[in-house]
Amino acid sequence: MIKKINLLLVFIAIIGSLYFVFTKDERLVYLLKDLSIILTINALYIIKKLFKLNISDGINFIYILFIFMAHFLGVTVELYNHIYWFDKFTHFLSGVLTGFLAIYILVKYKVDKKITFSFIYIIVFSLAIASFWEIFEYLASYYFNVDPQKVALTGVTDTMGDIIVAFLGAILVSISYYFEYKENHTFIVKRFINNI
C-alpha cells in the first residue's frame, strides 16, 4: 500500500511540475524551481540504487511526502503564497517526519540508550534538520536573489517561526515515543517501529 502511495505522489509531482514548466513564466529561476522536483522527489531512490542501500518503504514515504508537500505543493503550486498557514503547517509536518526519521535511526542502528536519551535525541535531530533547511533557504536567497525566508518582509520572524513549529512537531513525536514505551502502549510510534 505504501509503495503505491509513494508512486502516486511521485507521478503527481512530476506531471504537475511539467505542466507548470510549459504553462508558466519562462524565467530561468522558475524553470529550475519547477523542474527540480523531478530530481528531489527521486533523490532517495537514486541514492538507494547508487549506494545499494536498503531503505524501507516507510522511510521512503516520509521523504516523498515531505518533498511533495514542501516542494511540489508549497513551491511549484505556490500554496506558500496563497494559503497563509501552509508554510507553518509544512514545517510542523517536517518536525513530525524528522522525528520519525530519528526513531528509525535509533531502531535501525540498535542504539540501546535510556528512554530519556531517545526523547532528547528525537528533538535535537529534528531541530538540526530544521536548522539545515533554514541555512539552505538563506543560501538560496543569497545566490539566486530570491527571498524564501521572507527576510525583507518579516526579518527573522519567518525563520524562527519555521524552526519553532518544527520543534513542536518533534516534541509531539518525542512525547508519543516516551509514553508508548513508558506505559507500554502501541499507538503510532510502535506501529511505525514494527514496520521498519
Confidence bin at 183 (pLDDT 50/70/90):
confident
- The secondary structure of 52-69 as a DSSP string is T----HHHHHHHHHHHII
Q: Look up residue 50 and give its amino acid.
A: L
* Residue 150: per-residue pLDDT: 66
Which spans in the chain are helix H? 2-23, 28-50, 57-67, 79-82, 86-108, 115-144, 151-154, 157-182, 188-194
Model confidence, pTM: 0.81
Cell 530519556 -> residue: 116
Mean pLDDT computed over 155-177 = 91
15-70 pLDDT tens trace: 998 888 888 766 666 677 778 888 888 888 888 888 887 888 888 888 999 999 99
Q: How far apart are CA 15 and CA 109, in angstroms?
A: 37
pLDDT at 129 over 90: yes
Please say whether the beta carbons of 119 and 177 come within 8 A: yes
Please say whether the beta carbons of 195 and 56 come within 8 A: yes
Q: Which residues contact 108 (CB under 8 A, 6 or more apart)?
A: 196
Please say whether the beta carbons of 59 and 104 come within 8 A: yes
* Maximum Cα–Cα distance across the chain: 56
Backbone φ/ψ region at 112: left (φ over 0), alpha (ψ -120 to 50), beta: beta
* Residue 104: per-residue pLDDT: 87
144-154 pLDDT tens trace: 777 666 666 66
